[in-house]
Amino acid sequence: MSPNITTIVVASVLVATGTYLFLSRSLVRALMGFLLLGNGANLLYIVASGPAGAPPLVGKTEGPMADPVPQALVLTAIVITLGMTAFVLALAHRARQLSGVDLVTDDTESARIHARAEADDTGSPSARAVSDQIAAEGERTESRYHDGDTGRPARGEDGENR
């Protein structure tokens, strides 16, 4: 069987552009990347199913049949991608509600430990200050979520929650 070269080229382009978008810090762009990548992967299943043929139904015997297995697989994959997309969209919406942007931020605790390690190694006061500042920032964020309105969205902070 010689595979359909057009499908393969399209799949490669989708995977390549998807990978580029996936590397973005913006959650929505990454989601677009995921969708393109997913479609690229799905097209590969069409390649795997080989040449088109008659529908694989009982009683229909004329001509070569199409391979039904990859089509069943790709349908499942599409449905799963849909569900995952819905979740990522919800996550992006939540991120925007909380901070106004949907950019992925760094882990503050990790940054604090890096700064502290640098301070311990070099004895530089500026690194120590950075470490303390990150810790203080972290405490502020934490208290915002744990005092009073426990864990619930910081309503009204950006006027975004309705």
Contact 88, 27 (CB under 8 A): yes
59: left (phi over 0), alpha (psi -120 to 50) or beta: left
Q: Under 8 Å CB-to-CB from 154, ≥6 apart: which residues?
A: 98, 144, 145
Between CA 139 and CA 150 the distance in angstroms is: 15
Q: 66 or 77, CB closer to another protein?
A: 77
In angstroms, give the least distance from the CB of 21 to another protein.
11
C-beta closer to another protein: residue 120 or 124: 120
User: Which distant-in-sequence residues (6+ apart) come within 8 Å of 11 by Cβ?
Assistant: 40, 41, 43, 44, 47
Binding footprint of another protein on the chain (CB under 8 A):
3, 15, 22, 27, 30, 34, 37-38, 40-41, 44-45, 47-48, 69-70, 73, 76-77, 80, 83-84, 87-88, 91, 94-95, 98-99, 104-105, 107, 109-110, 113, 117, 141, 145-147, 150-154
Identify which of residues 56 and 129 has a Cβ nearer to another protein in the complex. 56
Least Å distance, CB 89 to another protein, is 11
Shortest reach from residue 126's CB to another protein, in Å: 20
